[in-house]
Amino acid sequence: MSLFEGDPRQRLEAGEALIQAVPPEWLGGFFEPGGWLGFMNNPVTNKQGRHYEYAYPRVSVGDNNMEKLIALTRILGGGVSRLRYFKRNEINNVWTLSQSGLAVCLAEHMQQYAPSRQETILAFLNWENAESAEERLEIAQAAKEEDRVFLNVEDYLPLVRIPEFLAGVLDNRGAVVTRKKHYNESFYDTSALEVNSQNYSLLQALQ
């Protein structure tokens, strides 16, 4: 079944099956060096003029490599869009998993292999089990006030030894670069594998 066909429950089940077919180690490796998990707040005004707000989980990855983002839609569902940031005069390609049930499914599926995302994943699960829109909004607002937790290098050493986790890291932030080096009055090309991330402890574990 296409993720765009059938009733909402069928689409959710199809999306969950797609996510759960992905190794959780790879997912954790992909989202530990980069990507965004968090809550979107949506203010609404109804026909009576009453203002209210609701929040829902969302997962996204921004990257200039459109092929990578399109590959994510095949692996995890979701969609790709181009967002313009007027203040910075930039246009970014963004993959987004905006259906709340699928965002929760993805977060829960990779929970064991995403140590720096634990607070956000817990908030996603609490949001899923909340009994009212007001409670969900409170959970989302509290989660926004918490910074992502960056851990020690020791927390990542067991993970980087898992091939699927390492593959996820490299698929997201890995690149082969070529540089010229000088030796004995001559230059030669050398290649290196680079990983670009703000998660310094993960980078140290990769050394």
Q: Give the pTM.
A: 0.83
Q: Which of 10-19, 41-50, 99-108, 143-152 has the lowest mean pLDDT?
A: 143-152
Is the pLDDT at 102 greater than 60, yes or no? Answer: yes
Residues above pLDDT 70, as percent of the chain = 89
Q: Which amino acid is at 133?
A: A
Q: Two tokens at 94?
A: 């963004």
Residue 1: which pLDDT band, with cuts at 50, 70 and 90? very low
Of the candidate ranges 7-21, 99-113, 126-140, 163-177, the one whose mean pLDDT is the lowest: 7-21
Q: How far is CA 122 from CA 32, 44, 136, 149, in A?
A: 16, 26, 13, 13
